[in-house]
Each structure stands twice: as structure tokens, then as C-alpha cells.
């Protein structure tokens, strides 16, 4: 059974690190991603998950299909299930964001 947890962000220099995933949670997965200026994540699909992306620092563009969705520090972006997308750092400094995904089925 999942229990309440307080989780600190990783302090090493990895570009991404998981915060939470089963069996520590029921369905929820979460992590931190750090991209240098001009950097981008790998294109992927949410499959049967929905995703919330929270920008902690920097400027980003979420690329999905033929559309671009710009957002920056303090903003969040919701990505529905079965959506192919990638994140790109569109700023001149580091981009830090937290993703939270959960299975919808």
C-alpha cells in the first residue's frame, strides 16, 4: 500500500530523474527533467497516460503533431492520453521541469 512521502529533487547532474513510480505509488509517476539551452527530450507518446508538465525554471516549447505550445516558468501544460510529443528548451538558460503522469485505464 502506498504511503505519504516527502521527496527531495535529485542533486546530481543527471538530465532526468524519477521521483515516484509504482510500487511507491498506485499509478502515478513523476520526475525532474533538466535540459540545457537548445536541448530537447526524446519524442514519445503518452499512450494510455495523461501528463502534467510544470515548468520550474526557463522557457519551453511542447511540440505535438504540427503544433507548438510555448510556456515558461510557473506555467503548466496538460498532455492528454495517446499524444505524441517532445519538449524543447526554447530559452537561453537551463530548463527545469517536473512531469507527472498517471494511467487512465
- What are the tens digits of pLDDT across the range 54-98? 999 999 999 998 899 999 999 999 999 999 999 999 999 999 999
Tell me whether residue 95 is in a domain. Answer: yes
Assess if residue 55 is contained within a domain.
Answer: yes
Q: Averaged over 20-34, what is the pLDDT?
A: 83
Asked, for residue 70, whether it belongs to a domain, the answer is yes
- Let me know if residue 8 belongs to a domain: no
Can you give the pTM of this predicted structure?
0.84
The CA distance from 62 to 72, in Å, is 11
- Nearest partner of 57 among 80, 79, 32, 78, judged by Cα: 32
- pLDDT bin (cut points 50, 70, 90) of residue 12 is low
Q: What is the DSSP letter of 48?
A: T
CATH of the domain at 48: 2.60.120.10
The grid coordinates listed for 97 are 521541469
Q: How far is CA 38 from the centre of its chain?
A: 17
Domain range for 87 is 37-103
Cα-trace Rg, the chain: 14
Residue 68 is assigned to a structural domain of this protein:
yes
Residue at 50 is within a domain: yes
- What is the per-residue pLDDT for 21? 75
Grid cell digits, residue 57: 525554471
What confidence score (pLDDT) does residue 59 get? 97
Amino acid at each position: 500500500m502506498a504511503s505519504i512521502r516527502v521527496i527531495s529533487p535529485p542533486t546530481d547532474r543527471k538530465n532526468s530523474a524519477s521521483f515516484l513510480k509504482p510500487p511507491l505509488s498506485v499509478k502515478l509517476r513523476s520526475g525532474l527533467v533538466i535540459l540545457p539551452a537548445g536541448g530537447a527530450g526524446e519524442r514519445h507518446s503518452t499512450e494510455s497516460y495523461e501528463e502534467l508538465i510544470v515548468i520550474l525554471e526557463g522557457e519551453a516549447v511542447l511540440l505535438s503533431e504540427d503544433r507548438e505550445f510555448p510556456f515558461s516558468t510557473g506555467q503548466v501544460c496538460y498532455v492528454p492520453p495517446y499524444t505524441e510529443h517532445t519538449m524543447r528548451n526554447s530559452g537561453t538558460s537551463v530548463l527545469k521541469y517536473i512531469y507527472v503522469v498517471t494511467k487512465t485505464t
